[in-house]
């Protein structure tokens, strides 16, 4: 525990790994995850914040390139167990897969009424030019924001380089710049400058929806297929015929367009008939799928593809993982997928 005063917000700081806490290996010079105490020692400013902070670290912090759905369930479970004790949660996470994790947690935590803020950094906390301090300190401040004794943010957010985004709307867009994330289809929830400016109309509200429900089932027999000019029948056939496959996120062109070649449409039609769900998501970072707008997407609608509308690939993947175990009817699944359930897409 870092500080303790009774009426201040209680924040649980969860360290999963990532550059923020990494050090350079003496022999190879490669960055590897380091222990949490080292990280805390390097930010004495944490003691100055107007909140009580408790910490929890993964026993073996990971580079987020090793992220797995089992760790998402672990994070969700940790939040569930500590939900009543804390006012907000900050998750330190590598930036590489942070958007996937933030999306997954948004689905696993139904009726969330407290902030769960993901953050990390492009440079380790020990680096002179690090972006870690600002990201961490402001994330904790965001998670501590309250009005009438209630948290202001009641959703899974992602804070990076002066901006708070809705987690399931983000994508990592830059491996070099400090501004590593973008949310092209949804405005920022908050911006940090001289003042912390909250964009109230865009905050998520679960008002009247009831108690927190923590889901613990994710289907992992799914895949992402990105179309490219020249994709062969053999490639697509082998991927779509994987034994036990339950769902596909199909990354199409522009507003959901694809090849109109017969073999292509036939393959998709066959797997949909077998009960595999196929979601149409655009390869573009911004904008939306609109099946039927062009002749090249009209057929997809007819053979039963589900529209991902303006969802990100990261959120589509975790929404599939989350919805598939619910054993919905074909129609029910389609309806549910095409409806916004955690602010992850624009419904109509």
- Compute how many residues bind ligand ASP; rule: CB under 6 A: 11
* Residue whose CB is less far from ligand ASP, 19 or 103: 19
Strand 171-172 vs strand 181-182: parallel, antiparallel, or unpaired?
Answer: antiparallel
Q: Which residues pair with 192 in a beta bridge?
A: 196
* Residue whose CB is less far from ligand ASP, 176 or 200: 176
* Residue whose CB is less far from ligand ASP, 63 or 344: 63
**Nearest distance, CB of residue 183 and ligand ASP, angstroms:** 17
Q: Which two tokens stand for residue 65?
A: 């390139």
Q: CA 218, 220, 226, 231 torsion: positive or negative?
A: negative
Q: How far, rounded to the nearest angstrom, does the alpha carbon of residue 215 sit from its chain's CA centroid?
A: 16
Q: Which residue is catalytic, options 19, 138, 171, 282?
A: 19
Name the segment binding ligand ASP (CB under 6 A); options: 38-46, 57-65, 104-112, 274-282: 57-65
**Nearest distance, CB of residue 218 and ligand ASP, angstroms:** 20
CB-based contacts of 26: which residues, under 8 Å, 6+ apart? none
Phi, psi of 8 (to 5 degrees): -85, 155
Site string for ligand ASP, 1-40 (x = CB under 6 A): ----------------xxx---------------------
**Nearest distance, CB of residue 181 and ligand ASP, angstroms:** 11
63 sits near ligand ASP (criterion: CB under 6 A): yes
Residue 130 appears among annotated catalytic residues: no
- Kind and range of the H or E run holding 88: strand 88-92
Q: Which of 101, 122, 130, 255 binds ligand ASP (CB under 6 A)?
A: 122
Residues 194-231: b if buried by 16+ CB within 10 A, e if exposed? eeeebeeeebbeeeeeeebebeeebeeebbbbebeeeb
Residues 234-263 that bind ligand ASP (CB under 6 A): none
* Residue whose CB is less far from ligand ASP, 255 or 313: 313
CB-based contacts of 290: which residues, under 8 Å, 6+ apart? 255, 256, 297, 307
How far apart are the C-alpha atoms of 118 and 90, rounded to whole Å?
Answer: 6
**Nearest distance, CB of residue 19 and ligand ASP, angstroms:** 3
DSSP state of 17: E
Residues 315-344 that bind ligand ASP (CB under 6 A): none
* Residue whose CB is less far from ligand ASP, 110 or 179: 179
How far apart are the C-alpha atoms of 20 and 90, rounded to whole Å?
Answer: 13
Q: How far, rounded to the nearest angstrom, does the alpha carbon of residue 292 sit from its chain's CA centroid?
A: 29
Name the segment binding ligand ASP (CB under 6 A); options: 44-52, 60-68, 213-221, 317-325: 60-68
64 sits near ligand ASP (criterion: CB under 6 A): yes
Name the segment binding ligand ASP (CB under 6 A); options: 62-70, 152-160, 228-236, 324-332: 62-70
* Residue whose CB is less far from ligand ASP, 74 or 270: 74
* Residue whose CB is less far from ligand ASP, 16 or 144: 16
Q: Are 278 and 271 in contact (CB under 8 A)?
A: yes
Contacts 24+ apart (CB under 8 A), 35-42: 35/61, 36/61, 39/15, 39/92, 39/125, 40/2, 42/125, 42/126
**Nearest distance, CB of residue 225 and ligand ASP, angstroms:** 24
Site string for ligand ASP, 80-99 (x = CB under 6 A): --------------xxx---
Q: Which of 9, 120, 151, 167 binds ligand ASP (CB under 6 A)?
A: 120
How far apart are the C-alpha atoms of 285 and 246, rounded to whole Å?
Answer: 25
Compute the chain's Rg from CA coordinates.
Answer: 21
Binding residues for ligand ASP, per CB under 6 A? 17-19, 63-65, 94-96, 120, 122
Catalytic amino acids? 19
């Amino acid at each position: 525990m870092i500080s303790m005063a009774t009426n201040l917000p209680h924040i649980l700081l969860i360290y999963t790994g990532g550059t923020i806490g990494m050090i350079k290996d003496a022999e190879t010079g490669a960055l590897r995850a380091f222990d949490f105490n080292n990280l805390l020692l390097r930010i004495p400013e944490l003691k100055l914040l107007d909140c009580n902070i408790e910490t929890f670290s993964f026993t073996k912090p990971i580079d987020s390139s090793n992220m797995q759905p089992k760790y998402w369930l672990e994070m969700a479970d940790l939040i569930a167990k500590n939900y009543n004790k804390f006012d907000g949660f900050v998750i330190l996470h590598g930036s590489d897969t942070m958007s996937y994790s933030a999306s997954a947690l948004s689905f696993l935590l139904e009726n969330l009424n407290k902030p769960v803020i993901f953050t990390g950094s492009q440079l380790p906390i020990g680096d002179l030019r690090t972006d870690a301090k600002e990201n961490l300190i402001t994330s904790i401040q965001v998670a501590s924001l309250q009005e009438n004794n209630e948290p202001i943010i009641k959703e899974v957010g992602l804070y990076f380089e002066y901006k708070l985004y809705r987690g399931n709307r983000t994508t990592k867009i830059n491996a070099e710049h400090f501004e590593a994330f973008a949310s092209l289809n949804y405005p920022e929830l908050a911006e940090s400058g001289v003042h912390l400016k909250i964009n109230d109309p865009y905050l998520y509200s679960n008002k009247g929806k009831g108690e927190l429900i923590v889901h613990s089932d994710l289907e992992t027999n799914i895949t992402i297929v990105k179309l490219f000019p020249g994709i062969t029948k053999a490639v697509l056939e082998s991927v779509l015929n994987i034994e036990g496959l339950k769902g596909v996120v199909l990354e199409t062109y522009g507003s959901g367009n694809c090849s109109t070649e017969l073999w292509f449409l036939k393959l998709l039609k066959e797997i949909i008939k077998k009960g595999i769900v196929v979601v149409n998501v655009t390869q573009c970072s911004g904008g939306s799928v609109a099946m039927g707008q062009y002749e090249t997407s009209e057929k997809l609608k007819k053979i039963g593809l589900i529209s991902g509308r303006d969802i990100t690939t990261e959120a589509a993947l975790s929404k599939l993982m989350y919805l598939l175990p619910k054993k919905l009817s074909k129609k029910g699944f389609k309806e549910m997928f095409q409806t916004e359930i955690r602010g992850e897409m624009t419904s109509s």
